[in-house]
Amino acid sequence: MANPLFTKKPLDILMKESGDSAHGLKRTLGKFNLMALGVGAIIGAGIFVLTGQAAAQYAGPAVSISFIVSALACAFAGLCYAEFAAMIPIAGSAYTYAYATMGRFVAWIIGWALVLEYLFAGSTVAVGWSGYVVSFLGKNMGIEIPPQFTAATGSELIKTADGWMAHTNELVTSLEASGISIESLPHVTAIVNLPAVIIVMLITALLTRGIKESAIFNNIIVAVKLIVILLFVAFGWQYVHAENWTPFIPDNTGTFGQFGVSGILRASAVIFFAYIGFDAVSTAAQEAKNPQKDMPWGILGSLLICTLVYILVSFVMTGIAPYQELNTAAPIAVAIDKAGAGLAWLSPLIKIGAIAGLTSVILVMLMGQTRIFYSMANDGLFFKPFSKIHPTFGTPYTSTIITGIVAMAASGLLPISLLGELVSVGTLLAFIIVCIGILILRYKSPDLKRPFKTPFFPYVPILGIICCTGVMAFLNGITFLIALGWLAIGLVIYFSYGSKNAKY
């Protein structure tokens, strides 16, 4: 008797489920919508934060090369995603692909790991969104939100000349160096991050209302953030000083990963996570009008657009400001300030672009999570209410509402540092599983109809596995311990519920 742990979901059933009338999800997304979803998920905190930090700490002006290296690593996985998404146009992303190729238990593990990517990424970005909104309202609109409602529960905030800031060792050292006693400044203990809770609540309501409405909203805010970024590139180019690009690849300091060629590679591992999100396109496969043709466009097109944008921004940013000065949470703002009065008008627009960018990331991440829960529940591996479809809106409303409530709690109560640690492992594991799945299916089912085929097989999936594993090697060991704890919780749910209720 076959081991039920490795029971695969039959491909003919998957194909049948992909039909328009299978489970009520509405097919309303075209090629443009799918590409916009990808761009909406990718361009967020990465371009507004990680670019400057990677340049200052690891690669210097050569951070643009690091983006190309990261894009290649993502492209290997992206090509594999495109083949699966066109062949098996079902909501669920890597979870569904794993179920078809490696069996129920691996599918459960990857589905549970994807919660780390989508749910906690949405919560993480909501906290970042809160920071930009509080800054914009306070410095640009004169509207002050009580500090008790702007940070994670229990966080200690200190009022400085630059506003309320989290109590950190770096802040204490900086203040003491300026002759300011930390005890002399006002202190507040945060109750809840209210703006983060509110944005998650609003996006949850939008996602419950309908995928078409969500896509239209996403298209608008993607357009806003792209316009703002392109304004920075177009007008910032006039303030570039070529000497800031010399040397383009700073000499290595003698420590691996600090400048030189190893620094470029180290930076590529850091900014790899600026690309997280292109795989979210695959979660909308069951709501695409023509998934066989449009899914590859959505996945690979969004990846290409974002790579070009990242390279242009990194060129202009490091050309305006010396890379040593970009190790900040707002490197684009630093570059604008460096340009002087000529670009001062762009400063509030950059904040608006950042807010728009982060809003679209939250939307796509939460949408992706609800579709994964929906697929798992539809297969019997997760709790049945998560598979319910709204009779009018055609959305998995129970999954959406519960996911939103959990995300609201996480974003309102937990610090961004803890949330951020949980995202990377789930993403990389998903990429690796998808690449392995393509290898398995090509050899075991070579005659299946493949509207899109990963080129240069088997080299592309093998390189995807190698690249993603290599990036994993740069992660903090604590991250793996947290992931193991998360996996333990998942195994309890699987053996107590999923294994007993699985349909296949």
Which has more pLDDT, 265 or 416? 265
Mean pLDDT of 445-454: 86
pTM more than 0.75: yes
Q: What's the pLDDT tens digit per position in 82-136? A: 888 888 777 667 788 888 888 898 889 888 888 877 877 788 788 878 877 887 8
The C-alpha atoms of residue 397 and residue 385 are separated, in whole angstroms, by: 9
Backbone angles phi, psi at 189, to 5 degrees: -100, 125
**At 1, is the pLDDT very low, low, confident or very high (cuts 50, 70, 90)?**
very low
Helix, strand or coil, per DSSP, at residue 456: coil
Q: What is the residue-wise DSSP string for 145-185?
A: PPGGGBS-TT-EEEEETTEEEE--HHHHHHHHHTT--GGGS
The C-alpha atoms of residue 96 and residue 18 are separated, in whole angstroms, by: 12
**At 2, is the pLDDT very low, low, confident or very high (cuts 50, 70, 90)?**
low
Q: What's the pLDDT tens digit per position in 71-89? A: 888 889 888 988 888 887 7
Q: Looking at residue 458, what is its pLDDT?
A: 94
Q: Looking at residue 182, what is its pLDDT?
A: 76
Quick one: tokens of 486?
A: 């998360």
Q: Is the pLDDT of residue 417 over 60?
A: no
Say which residue the tokens 């303030």 belong to.
Answer: 239
The C-alpha atoms of residue 354 and residue 365 are separated, in whole angstroms, by: 16
β-strand partners of 156? 189
Q: What's the pLDDT tens digit per position in 344-396? A: 888 888 878 878 878 888 888 888 888 888 888 888 888 888 888 887 777 78
Give the list of residues 6+ apart from residue 496 with CB closer than 8 angstroms, or none. Answer: none
The C-alpha atoms of residue 302 and residue 366 are separated, in whole angstroms, by: 18
Q: Is the peptide bond before 458 cis (omega within 30 degrees of 0)?
A: yes
Quick one: tokens of 273?
A: 């996570």
Residue ranges of domains in the chain, CATH in brackets: 4-143+191-501 (1.20.1740.10), 156-189 (no CATH)
